[in-house]
């Protein structure tokens, strides 16, 4: 019997509570949360790599692959089942990551960052030149079904519940991973790769596995965003999109698996209200909030929870 620890119970409980929230929350808020949690999944991909000491500036690559797989699957291949589409997205991203990972895991630090950025910009370039895929305008994603059931008018609600479910399950699995020996080895690689090698573990293959896992997680988020917004375009692979993911990752911090979701929600909320109240300079508000968080909470939003926990113990 699997033992569910306290954090996992929290994560599953929160996922369930939020999914049930669909019944009471206004639909703009559920949509905001759908996007935030799906983005949170993409950010998980960034965070997994950060824990192992790698900063990906090109996570948009897998976000975009996830979105386009859902789009192409529905529009051109004729797959409409949400679960099949998400699995396809993850498989497509993992397949690409398995190839690119062979090259990328040979590099570290800024070289790794720049190469990941380069690959995502290559995809951006290819998609921008594909007129059959709508070039830079992108194309619309068909409504999805679930195991033969068509949600129809409740489609967005279904995607919200699906996103909550995916996010909760992914969070539990990633939490387990971070507490497992593999997770600890990744942290050790970040601290001192040479020493890990002396201990008889191959950091390169560890990083390779991490890279592929991160790709699949990000593609899951991309697929969900494609379903939620009903549109995909090459902007998803553009470097500013990847930059946003790093931003959210730093905002949340890498110490807890729930941090990216919380950070993505805060990011979306601040942004939408900034756009509403200061339409001409919303970027400045967003910038100040993020600057404030970086100055006062250098370890990310999650350090708020850490500190109070430590106080409670004392």
Partner 1 sequence: MNRLKSLFVPRRPVVAALALMAVALAAGSAQAAENGKFRVGIVTFLSGAAAGPFGVPSAHAAETVIDALNKGLLPAPYNTKGINGLEIEAVIIDENGGATKQVEEFRNLVERQKVDAVIGYISSGDCLAVSPVAEELKIPTVFYDCGTSRLFEENKAPKYSFRTGLDAVVDNVGAVRYLADTRPKMASIAGIQQNYAWGQDSWTDFVETTKKLRPEVKVVGEQFPKIFQGQYGAEISALSVAKPDVIHSSFWGGDMEALVLQGNARGLFDGRTLLLTCGESAMEHYKDQAPNGMVIGGRGPFGAFAPKNALSEWLRAAYSAKWNEQPVYPSFKIVQAILGLKAAVEKAAAAPGKQPDADKITAAFTSLTFESPSGTVKMARSTGHQAMQGIAYGEYYFEGGKATLKNVRSYKDTCVTPPEGVNGQDWIKSGMPGAKCD
- Our CB check for partner 1 shows the closer of 77 and 278 to be 278
Under rule CB under 8 A, residue 175 binds partner 1: no
Does the footprint of partner 1 cover residue 35 (CB under 8 A)? yes
Burial state string for 177-194 with b = 16 or more CB within 10 A and e = fewer than 16: bbeeebbebbebbbeebe
Of 129-137, 158-166, 172-180, 246-254, which part binds partner 1 (CB under 8 A)?
129-137
Which one of the spans 42-50, 157-165, 201-209, 226-234 is the region binding partner 1 (CB under 8 A)?
226-234
Among 4, 20, 77, 136, binds partner 1 (CB under 8 A): 136
Applying CB under 8 A, does 129 fall inside the site for partner 1? yes
For residue 137, the minimal CB distance to partner 1 (Å) is 4
304 is an interface residue for partner 1 by CB under 8 A:
yes
Residue 129 CB-half CA count within 13 A: 5
Contacts 24+ apart (CB under 8 A), 106-112: 106/204, 108/53, 108/54, 108/193, 109/55, 112/54, 112/55, 112/56
Closest CA to 30 of 302, 286, 265: 265
Question: Out of 273, 291, 292, 294, which residue is the one contacting partner 1 (CB under 8 A)?
Answer: 273
Interatomic CA distance for residues 47 and 253, integer angstroms? 8
Nearest to 164 by CA among 260, 271, 36, 255: 36
27 binds partner 1 (CB under 8 A): yes
- Told to check if 146 binds partner 1 by CB under 8 A, we report no
Q: Which of 23, 26, 200, 313 binds partner 1 (CB under 8 A)?
A: 26
Residues in contact with partner 1 by the rule CB under 8 A: 9-10, 13, 25-29, 31-32, 35, 128-129, 131, 134-140, 153, 156, 225, 229-231, 233, 235-236, 241, 268-269, 271-273, 275-276, 279-280, 282-283, 304-305, 308-309, 312
């Amino acid at each position: 019997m699997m033992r569910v620890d306290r954090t996992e119970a929290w994560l599953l409980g929160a996922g369930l509570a939020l999914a049930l929230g669909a019944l009471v929350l206004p639909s703009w808020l559920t949509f905001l949360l759908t996007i935030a949690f799906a983005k949170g999944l993409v950010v998980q991909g960034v965070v997994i790599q950060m824990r192992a000491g790698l900063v990906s500036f090109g996570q948009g690559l897998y976000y975009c692959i996830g979105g386009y797989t859902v789009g192409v699957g529905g529009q051109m291949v004729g797959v409409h089942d949400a679960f099949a589409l998400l699995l396809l997205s993850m498989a497509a991203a993992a397949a690409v990551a398995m190839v690119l990972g062979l090259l990328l895991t040979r590099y570290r630090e800024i070289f790794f960052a720049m190469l990941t950025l380069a690959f995502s910009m290559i995809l951006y370039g290819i998609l921008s030149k594909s007129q059959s895929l709508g070039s830079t305008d992108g194309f619309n994603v068909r409504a999805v079904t679930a195991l033969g059931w068509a949600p129809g008018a409740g489609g967005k609600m279904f995607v919200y519940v699906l996103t909550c479910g995916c996010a909760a399950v992914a969070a539990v699995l990633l939490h387990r991973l971070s507490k497992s020996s593999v997770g600890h080895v990744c942290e050790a690689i970040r601290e001192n790769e040479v020493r890990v090698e002396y201990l008889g573990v191959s950091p390169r293959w560890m990083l390779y596995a991490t890279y592929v896992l991160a790709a699949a997680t990000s593609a899951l988020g991309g697929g969900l965003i494609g379903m939620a917004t009903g549109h995909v375009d090459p902007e998803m692979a553009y470097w500013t999109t990847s930059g946003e993911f790093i931003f959210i990752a730093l905002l949340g911090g890498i110490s807890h698996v729930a941090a990216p979701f919380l950070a993505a929600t805060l990011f979306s909320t601040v942004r939408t209200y900034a756009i509403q109240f200061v339409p001409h300079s919303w970027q400045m508000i967003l910038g100040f909030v993020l600057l404030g968080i970086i100055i006062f909470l250098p370890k990310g939003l999650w350090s708020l929870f850490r500190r109070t926990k430590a106080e409670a113990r004392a």
